[in-house]
Amino acid sequence: MRYKKVPVKKIVNKIIDECDVILLVLDARDPETTRNRELEEKIKKMNKELIYVLNKADLVPKEVLEKWEEKLENAVFVSAKHRMGTKILRDKIKEHLKKNNIKEGKVGVVGYPNVGKSSIINALTGKRSALTGSLAGLTKGEQWIRLTKNIKLLDTPGVLEMKDEDELIISGALRLEKAENLISPALKVLRRLHDFDKTIISNYYGVEVDEIDGELLKKIGKKLKYLKKGNEVDLDRTARSIIKDFQDGKLNYYNVRIKKYGQERRRNIEFI
Ligand code: G4P
């Protein structure tokens, strides 16, 4: 099995030791799953500023983002891919540094694989060149990039270790085509949504939900008319479709039906 990136635990520790502001990048489609409570506690204990950066907000309906905004303290919505929300993020960093009278603030980015850490660093830095010479204590190759007169950003993100293969599949870090088993991550998605709100699955698929198990997958597959020869339900196709809809933000925590795509949805985050 191939992972896209090798976790570099060391950098996570360096970032929380050395930085004043830590951007914990979450996937806006699934912020709870991409949080890391242990790390959050540690950051808070060290009296550092923790900002939740909910990236890929372009894939999430505005109504859903608003719910997360109510739930999460100190959250900023961003679409690194479309370079949206980065000004708000920059302003939030500036505000913290000003309030705490920090003359030269250091900012670091951490998060699970595939949430968009590198994209956020690129969106924040644009074409700025790195400062010459790395700061002491950092591995060769990592550099600080100046965002403003008072802000330096570490150009290498801290990668948190993903718990297991299912999580990598759900988050998109492991492509669906490369995954061997889609049933287990699909059931995980369904279970998570169901724990959050018991009406989501029945509303989305029009099926009755008793247990979150293979039988439910069959019911959903039948509804979707994903049948193989002999009228047997194609469970793999059904599982793929569930994960895909979740990744696309269509099947979401807040039971919101998305009718429009592309430009329309992208505009959503401007309102937050
Ligand atoms: P990482 O450093 O946290 O591992 O994430 P990275 O920036 O490499 O981004 C992971 C994938 O998520 C990339 O897709 C990237 O394009 C996509 N992505 C990042 N930010 C956003 C965003 O705001 N919105 C959307 N919709 N996607 C985003 P990929 O398929 O791996 O690469 P690519 O084909 O897009 O280049």
> How far is ligand 1, taken at its centre, from the CA of residue 231, in Å?
38
Task: Determine whether the shortest distance from the Cβ of 29 to ligand 1 is under 6 A.
Answer: no
Does 117 contact ligand 1 (Cβ within 6 A)?
A: yes
Which protein residue's CA is at the shortest distance from atom 32 of ligand 1? Answer: 114
The strand pair at 151-154 and 144-148 is best described as antiparallel
Paired strand residues for 152:
106, 146
Residue carrying structure tokens 């030269």: 104
What is the helix, strand, coil percentage profile of the chain, to 5?
Answer: 45, 15, 40
Closest ligand 1 atom, CA of 157?
2
pLDDT per residue as tens, the chain (272 positions): 343 443 456 889 999 999 999 999 999 999 988 999 999 999 999 999 999 999 999 888 888 888 888 889 999 999 999 899 999 999 999 999 999 999 999 999 999 999 999 999 999 998 665 554 444 445 556 789 999 999 999 999 999 988 689 989 998 989 999 899 999 999 999 999 999 899 999 999 999 999 999 999 999 999 999 999 999 999 999 999 999 999 988 898 888 776 544 444 444 555 44
The ligand 1 atom nearest the CA atom of 115? 3
Ligand 1, atom 11, residue with closest C-alpha: 114
The rounded radius of gyration (Å) of the Cα atoms in the chain is 20
Q: For ligand 1, say whether the CB of 119 is within 6 Å of any of its atoms.
A: yes
User: Ligand 1 centre from 82 Cα, in Å?
Assistant: 11
CA angle centred on 118, ends 156 and 166, rounded to 5°? 110
- Give the tens place of pLDDT for each residue, 42-71: 999 999 999 999 999 988 888 888 888 888
8: CB partners within 8 A, 6+ apart: 156, 158, 159
Residue 70: exposure state from Cβ atoms within 10 A (0-12, 13-18, ≥19): exposed
| Amino acid letter, 158 | G
Q: How far is the CA of 264 from the centre of ligand 1 (A)?
A: 20
Judge if the beta carbon of residue 272 lies within 6 A of ligand 1.
no
**Which residue is associated with the tokens 């570490």?**
154
**Ligand 1 geometric centre to CA of 50 (Å):** 22
Q: Which two tokens stand for residue 44?
A: 């808070």
Q: What's the confidence (pLDDT) of residue 16? A: 95
Asked casually if ipTM beats, i.e. exceeds, 0.90, the reply is yes
